[in-house]
Homo-oligomer: A and B are copies of this chain.
Amino acid sequence: MMPSPITAILLISCPDRHGIVAALSSFITRQNGNIVALDQYVDPVDGVFFARMEWEVEGFAIPTENFAREFNALAEPFDITWSLHRSDQRLRMGLMFSRQLHCLYDILARYESGEWPVDIAVAVSNHNDHRGLVERFGIPFHHLPVTAEDKARTEPKQIAVMQQAGVDFIVLARYMQILSPAFIQAFPMRIINIHHSFLPAFAGARPYHAAHNRGVKIIGATAHYATESLDEGPIIEQDVNRVSHRQGVDDLIRIGRDLEKIVLSRAIYGHLHHRILVYKNRTVVFN
């Protein structure tokens, strides 16, 4: 396989206006950018325009560091909110988890096989169980225990560890503690959580017990950006699996583990490839 060319990725949202696509695509073309992907979506209720444009860096007339200056002449009249990314800039992931292994292992396996353009910059757990596993991958590990009493003192340490490691986003790989609003606000729309139910059904604790008790015939898992409202952040990805009366709670937990790790990995993939925009507590995911 040939290596993919390095690309720039522009994520955009703005009020929908005549000519916005023409203005954007003409801007890139005039600067000699070869557009390799253009996805757009207009919310018909609110009249909001969303787009993801990707073009080859080679040959593009504007150096990345000058892009803002050049692009703002276009962005301001259209009232565009935007962010620019490059496919050769690997994001730095912070990893948080508790005792369960399945999401952690799945992430590490993808990491080792080079599936994702990511560097795992640091790992934090409230338990020390998996220090050895994580350190084998060369990932700095911090054991920061959390109890009901000292949570207020631990969170600033967690935040500091993440910031010092320069993480771009945080993945909660079955981290079983609720984060405070202060933690969330330190990484807005940059914390991906996996919840072990088909949200909004069975938010909160012990969702498989609740699902079994309700007698559902399908269980699910949901990856979402963490917000200050527990399990109510913008949903990135969901998937489900059929179950029957024969499956007890233990079976739901076992089957659910596979859902959780796959759904979480798809959300991470979308985030790493800059395919996700958030609007009104919903996501636009360009596939």
Contacts and interface: CB of A to CB of B under 8 A. Distances in A.
Contacts of A102: 109, 113
A230 interface: no
A245 B215 contact: no
A198 B238 CA distance: 13
Interface string A231-254: 000111111101011101010001
B250 A1 contact: yes
Contacts of A250: 1
B18 A22 contact: no
A189 to B, nearest CB: 13
Nearest to A242: B242
Interface string A103-142: 0011011001101000000000000000000001000000
A160 interface: no
Interface stretch (A32-40, A162-170, A178-186): A32-40
Nearest to A277: B245
A29 interface: yes
Interface stretch (A41-49, A70-78, A79-87, A145-153): A41-49
A256 interface: no
A218 B245 contact: no
Contact of A18 (B29, B101, B254, B281): B29
Interface string A218-235: 101000000000000011
Nearest to A18: B34
Interface residues of A, number: 67
Contact of A287 (B109, B198, B244, B284): B244
A218 to B, nearest CB: 5
A156 to B, nearest CB: 32
Interface of A: 1, 18-19, 21-22, 25-26, 28-30, 32, 34-42, 44-45, 101-102, 105-106, 108-109, 112-113, 115, 136, 198-202, 213-218, 220, 234-240, 242, 244-246, 248, 250, 254, 258, 262, 265, 281-285, 287
30 contacts: A1-B250, A21-B25, A22-B26, A22-B30, A26-B26, A37-B40, A41-B246, A44-B248, A45-B248, A101-B109, A101-B113, A136-B136, A198-B198, A199-B201, A214-B281, A215-B234, A215-B235, A215-B281, A217-B236, A217-B238, A218-B220, A218-B238, A218-B240, A242-B242, A244-B287, A245-B282, A245-B284, A245-B285, A258-B262, A258-B265
